[in-house]
Structures are given as C-alpha cells and as structure tokens.
Amino acid sequence: MRRKVLLVTVIVLLVLSNAGTYMIATGRVPWLHARGELPSGTPETQAFFEVLARIQQQFVDEGRASDIADLVRGATAGMVDSLGDPYSVYLDRDEYERFQTSNISGKYSGVGIEITGQDGYVIVIAPIKDTPAYREGILPMDKIVAVDGQSIIGWPVQEASEVIRGEAGTAVVLTIRRDGVPQPFDVRIVRELIELKTVQHKILEPGIGYLQISAFREDTAYDARASLEALRREGMKVLILDLRDDPGGLLDRCVEVAGFLVPEGVVVTTTYRDGREEVHRVSGAGLGLPLITLVNGATASAAEIVAGAIQDRGAGVLVGTRTFGKALVQEVFRLPDGGGLKLTTARYLTPSGRDINRDQQGGGGIVPDVVVENLATAPGDPRIVLDDPEDARNIQLHRALELARGHLTASP
C-alpha cells in the first residue's frame, strides 16, 4: 500500500512538471514553474508517462487503473507522507469532515486516544480521560503494533487512526508493545461516542483549587476562564493545574489560556522556514496566586506551550516528569476536493528561546522543576486517576498537594 502511494505521488508530481497542465497554466502554482523545481523532458518524466500508459492499458484491475480521481487522492496522500513528518497528513473528504467535527464539536466515535508516529511505530501520546481507552488502561508511549490482528507497523498515522476508529458499540483489539513488559499483549476496547470535555475543576482541600485541561479545543479557553472564576468564588488560594496526558490542540486557545496564568509578556514564538517570527504575547496580571503545574511524558504540543510559559516566566512550579517534546505547529487547509491538508508550517520556542522538540533519540521536552515519577502499573491494573488524591500511587499529585499546603501555611 505504502509503495503504491509513493509511486503514485511521483506520477502526479511529474504530470505537473512535464505538461505544465491546468494548474501551472492558470497560475495556481506558478512558483513551482518559476523555481525550476519541476523540469519537463527529463528521463523521469518520460518514465512517468510510460508507467502511466502501462497502468492504464495493462494493469489487471481495469476499474482501478481508470479511476484517475482515486489515483490522484492516493498520490496526494503519498506526497505528504513522503515528508516523513507524522504530524502532516492529507485528509480526504470524509476524514476532513470527521476532523472538523471532532475539533469543533468535540465529538467522534472511537476509543479515545491521541496518536503519533515515530520510527515506523504508531505511538500513543495520551488516552483521553473517561474514554474507553483510558478505562482499559492504555498508557502514554504505548506502541500500537496491530489492530484486530493486522500489523500496522510502518503505517501512516492517519491510516492507523482510520482503522482504530469505528462505529460506537463495535469492538477493536489493539496489540500493545509497552516498555518494561516482555511481550506484546492485546487490549479489547469497545468503541463509544467520544464527547470531549476538556476542562474540569474542583476544590481538593480548603484553599487548594484543581484545574485539569485534557486538550486545547475551541471551547477550552472559555471553559478554563469559567472554571477559574468558580474556583476563586470557592475560596481558592493556590492552584494546581494538571496538564498531564494533555496532547495539545489549538495554538490560539493555549495562548489564551496562558494569559489567565502568566503576567503580561511573551508566551511563545513561532518560527517559519523563511526566517519570519511571530511572537505571541498576552496582557494582564496573570493568575496572581501560587501555581503548581503537573506535567508528564504525555504533556505535548499546545500543553507544552503553556507549561513552558509558566516555567520560563516564573509564574509557577512544574512538577512531574519530562514532557513529550512536540514543538511543531500545524495548520489545516481546506482543499478544492473537499478534503484537507494538515501541514507542519512552523516550530515554536518557549519565552526564553528554548526549542524543546524531541530528537530521534527521544531528547527534548521540558524538564520540570520538581521531578516526580508516579508508581508504575502493570497491564490489567486499575489506572491512576489523575485527580484522585486517595490513590497512593499518584505520587505526583501528592507532591503537588504538599507544595500547595506549604503556600497556604506561608500565607499571612
């Protein structure tokens, strides 16, 4: 499948180069022609036309050979996949509609995980709280090596996502490879309609507020502001912000949330390949209260922007483990065929200028001020509930509570 997609990618690129065709003739992509990156009359273009002719004339499945639209869609996906960036994907019409629905409404049918790709593996960034995957014990950094017995090693992330998702009420079996566990094991998960509520809050103890953000979507900033106002009314003197297992989301929403927490100044700087920089600032006094922020290896992307701003600006203390290290920004473009392109267009730097993007060896991320590991759980054990201080395994939350109590004691 992967080989076919990449082959067809070459075909479409060469069609554009040799003929100039419709797009160049109408000036829609004139920069390709002007820069001379798609020369015509080369051996490669000649080979393309021979391959195209042989496919159309001799490929055993005439229906597939003659479906140019399907070939072009496959080529488009292969073109994006050839970038080697797990965060850049082509979405066909149906995939784009599902993507838009899940990001705007927060609803989709599936198991409730955020995934990425690394070294040919599909890796769980985080299970989403109170979803089937979360309840069945899927953990950050689990590798999904098969779905319903079919290996997905080497698959693009978008293809893997499509087979993991499915109609609510149906079951899917994920084969998991987990660090520290000798053999891969199967987890059977019944899909549900996932309704993402990204913000939750409570008073853990008198004076100690707790705000958990599980992702940054359209309504996250509005809900976070409302939660903070409610916690203040309930007597909050110290805030524990929980960004553990938060895979990120929308840049503008995380910047808005950061504005509730850090005082006036820089939150993040995005840098583009042409050297252009865009500095994202906030105004206001920030939280104005002691702030303790929980992070872990599944704190990624937009969540790391907030954590990095808190740490660099001295607005609070980070507690937990090194974050994921995804310092890349994606934009989503609507395409003429009704599909979409999710493309990495920028990198980001924390306010102090740090590039926290992980490298091939797993380096990067944000190291918290207070490093604390939770107790490990074995497959089949009940998972640690992030906001449960009664669970003795939840050492990170217990340490955050100790620090919060210290602030209350020190207050006049």
Q: In this predicted model, what pLDDT tens digit does every residue of 273-319 receive, in sequence order?
A: 999 999 999 998 999 999 999 999 989 999 999 999 999 999 999 99
Q: How far apart are the first and last CA of the chain?
A: 67
Beta strands at 208-213 and 238-242: parallel, antiparallel or unpaired: parallel
Residue 307: C-alpha distances to residues 138, 229, 373 (Å) = 24, 21, 18
Q: Which pair of structure tokens corresponds to residue 221? A: 């900033």
Q: Which of 226-240, 256-270, 349-363 has the lowest mean pLDDT?
A: 349-363
- Cβ-count burial of 298 within 10 angstroms (0-12 exposed, 13-18 middle, 19+ buried)? buried
404 contacts 238 by C-beta, under 8 angstroms = yes
* Residue 311 backbone zone (phi > 0: left; psi -120 to 50: alpha; other: beta): alpha
Q: What is the mean pLDDT of residues 11-25?
A: 39
DSSP state of 386: T
Q: CA angle, 103 as apex, 117 and 89 as ends, to 5°?
A: 35
Complete domains list, the chain, with CATH:
2-82 (no CATH), 107-195 (2.30.42.10), 199-410 (3.90.226.10)
Answer yes or no: pTM beyond 0.85.
no
Helix (H) or strand (E) segment spanning residue 403: helix 395-410
What is the pLDDT, as a whole number, of residue 358?
80
What is the pLDDT, as a whole number, of residue 223?
96
Give the residue, 70 or 327, on which the prediction is more confident: 327
354 contacts 367 by C-beta, under 8 angstroms = no
Q: What is the mean pLDDT of residues 231-242?
A: 97
* H helices present in 30-166, as ranges: 30-34, 43-58, 62-66, 68-81, 93-104, 132-135, 157-164
- Cβ-count burial of 273 within 10 angstroms (0-12 exposed, 13-18 middle, 19+ buried)? exposed
What is the pLDDT, as a whole number, of residue 70?
72
Q: What is the mean pLDDT of residues 5-19?
A: 43
Report d(CA 200, CA 264) in Å as an integer: 25
The tokens 């006049």 sit on which residue? 412
Q: b/e per residue, 61-73, with b = 16+ CB within 10 A?
A: eeeebeeeeebeb
294 contacts 243 by C-beta, under 8 angstroms = yes
* CA dihedral of residues 335, 336, 338, 341 (deg, nearest 10): -10
Active site residues: 301, 312, 326
* Residue 325 backbone zone (phi > 0: left; psi -120 to 50: alpha; other: beta): left
DSSP string covering 51-63, please?
HHHHHHHH-S-HH
* CA dihedral of residues 12, 92, 347, 287 (deg, nearest 10): 170
pLDDT tens digits along 326-363 = 999 988 899 998 889 999 999 999 999 999 998 755 67
pLDDT tens digits along 381-392 = 777 788 888 888
- Which backbone phi and psi does 147 adopt, to 5 degrees? -125, 120
Nearest to 312 by CA among 374, 253, 269: 269
Q: What is the mean pLDDT of residues 221-234?
A: 97
Nearest to 250 by CA among 81, 106, 92, 55: 106
Average pLDDT, rounded, for the chain: 84
Report d(CA 269, CA 355) in Å as an integer: 10
